[in-house]
Structure 1
Amino acid sequence: MDKHKVSTGKRIFDVVFSSIVLLVVSPVMLLTAFAIAIESRGSIIYVSRRVGWGYDIFNFYKFRSMYKNSDTKLRDLENNNAYALDQTNKEDRLKEFLICPDCELPGHPCSPLLYIHGYQICENKYLEYKRQMRREYTFIKVKDDPRITKVGKFIRATHIDELPQFVNVIKGDMSVVGNRPLPTYEAENLTTDMLSYRFLAPAGITGLWQVYGSDKPDPEERMRLDNKYFEKKGWKTDFLIILKTIPSLFKFKSRDL
């Protein structure tokens, strides 16, 4: 994140607040690092490429909560994606796009005809179907993820794994309050105007989604709250989010990747 994109006051608050937090929790961070090193092989800090404000890509820090080389297994686990569990079967969804009003007019179809899963569908409607499915399956949250270590489950539930992100804040990659930076594979699906507003606000450790989002995975709600932060961002909003974040830290619930 470009340090000059945030106001001077917000930047000063980010640096001072993050420095104090890191100083206070340093004993917890040392114990966490020791526990991670004992349980499984691999680096103590997990570094991933995340997309923040203005689609800027940066190195995002967390305590490692998974076994080594878990990233390569992510696509194999997409069938357990909690954001997709409540969606209708993809083939059933395809049936909703079979009828094209333009193709029903006299003359030739509006675009070349395709045969998908035994159904005839015009190319324009199929592309519309693919765009809709990308929007609905953008976010990934794996239920009962076998890649997570025992220490990882604890530090995720208690949010200890997030503490290294205060280093990101001091570096200027993120702010304390903002929209969560997304992995590149999620961000690449949020390119339309309506979906990309979230990238016009700073990336943050906590935000509206973290404190007001429901426990049930809902990608539409997440996008709505992310966009709302862009519209409402300011000192008052940030202060209220920080106050709401404190009690939410004591809620043990499943977490995003």
Structure 2
Amino acid sequence: MESEPGKKGSFRVVLIENDPERISLLNNDFGALVDIITEPEYTQALDYLEMGNPVDLIICKDSAGYSDFLKSLRKKVYFHSIPVILFKEHEETDPKAVQGQVIDVFSLPYPLEALQIRLNYLIQKKQYSEAARTPYKPTRIRSPFGKRAFDIVVSATALLMLSPILAVVAVLVKLDSKGPVFYRSKRVGMGYRIFDMYKFRTMRTDADKMLANMASLNMYNVAPSVPVSDLCEECQLAGTECRQVLFLDNEKICEKLYHQKQKAKATFSKFKEDPRVTKLGKFLRNSSIDELPQLFNILLGDMSFVGNRPLPPYEAEKLTSTGYARRFAAPAGLTGLWQVTKRGKSKVSDLERIQLDVLYAKKYSFKTDLIIMIKTVKAVFQKENV
């Protein structure tokens, strides 16, 4: 067994080779980069490994016995993490033999540059894993102390005073239609934190299944997205085939047309005269009684009385760009700037709503919260079916 003297933290390679010329060549090419421990036979290499010597990589060739050697590595759990590079001398290599930890197969004579790139990658990977790195822990965004104190005191008081009403509504929901009393859904709030938001159930139990067929009723739709042609307007005018081809899910489509369709899709979903809503649900929604269980979310700290509406994850994931993501710097709210300025208006765009959310995140204060809460009282009992 031959070994190059190594330094602490060096990368140790076991080379299974009995050709002096190839051993010398590898040492000349990579001796300065890694510590090379040479074993002439597979059995000796296995003995070296079983003695507990630290090994970062094994290099061997597809000579007699290599298949059994690789099988032996697979049988022992503590050898599973050692990657193997195989030098190919023969035309055909047994595919079953190279399954598992063989990460590369190089034909001999080995390509110097490709092998060097692979070794550099493995060395850097080891250095990264051994480095004393403190994992990044994002700081949780918190509401201002005064705002949070107000939320706790008022929500606890409101829950105590409204408990008889909550009990009556719970019974009515149960009698009105089949299904649970409360509706619980995942929402994304302040700092992209996901939580369970609670409401009184106002929809049929099969509401989610009906959603796919209701895209045309969405109030936020820019325009019906009915493709007239498979080509964009530019390609149609030029009278040519698509000049900006995009392959998506193995389908060939025009890139410009694809982006036009994506822009036409609404970020938010809201429906006028929603057919999924129950008879009692319409009253609960118009009076905002359905949202009273969110007082528990406020008490728990998931939400605040005033803020930006918490979004379902599929809507929140569309708002991760720098300008849009600013809305998540504000607390999730029971009511907010958008609700008191645009609630019930059919002509409202995605951008208009997002801009109002971002504006609140930049400007919110105790004074603005009080103004919004006063305006909310006026807006609560307006007649709307959204």
Give the alignment's TM-score, normalised by structure 1: 0.83
Which residue number in structure 1 is paired with residue 374 of structure 2? 243
1:100-142 per-residue CA deviation (whole Å, 9 max, x = no partner) reads 8xxx9xxx94x4378xxxxx9852x2353244224xx111112
Tell me how far 1:90 sits from its aligned partner: 2.1
Higher relative helix content: 1
- State the partner residue of 2:225: 90
In the alignment, what sits opposite 1:74? Answer: 211
For residues 17 and 127 of structure 1, do their structure 2 counterparts lie closer, same or farther at Cα, with a shift above 3 Å needed? Answer: same
1:216 match: 346
- Structure 2's unaligned 5+ residue stretches are 1-138
**Change in 2 beyond 3 A, CA 1:97/1:228:** farther
Q: 61-70 vs 162-171, which deviates more?
A: 61-70
Verify the 8 A CA contact 1:138 1:186 in the aligned structure 2: yes
Which is worse superposed, 180-189 or 45-54?
Answer: 180-189
* 1:60-139 mapped onto 2 (5 Å cutoff): 60-84=197-221, 87-91=222-226, 98-99=233-234, 109=243, 111-112=244-245, 122-123=254-255, 125-134=256-265, 137-139=266-268
CA distance in 1, matches of 2:174, 2:347: 32
Q: Quick check: 1:5 aligned with 2:142? A: yes
Compare CA radii of gyration and give the structure with the larger one. Answer: 2
- Whether 2:190 is the aligned partner of 1:59: answer no
Residue 3 of structure 1 and its aligned partner are, at CA, apart by 8.0
Q: Which residue matches 2:83?
A: none
Counterpart selection for 2:161 from 14, 17, 24: 24
How many residues align? The count is 237
The answer to whether the aligner puts 1:207 opposite 2:344 as a matched pair is no
* 3-state SS of paired residue (2:277): coil
Query: What is the one-letter code of the residue matched to 1:216?
Result: S
Contact 1:3 1:11 in 2 (8 A): no
1:45 has 2:182 as partner? yes
Amino acid aligned to 1:232: K
Once the two structures are aligned, what percentage of the paired residues are identical? 43
CA 188–97 in structure 1, closer or farther in 2 if over 3 Å, else same: farther
**Cα pair 2:230 2:253 within 8 Å, conserved:** no
Contact 1:165–1:205 (CA under 8 A) maintained in structure 2: yes
For 1:94 and 1:50, the matched residues in 2 are separated by 38
Deviates more, 1:145-154 or 1:216-225: 216-225
Work out which structure has the larger RCO, using CA pairs closer than 8 Å and 6 or more positions apart in sequence.
Answer: 1
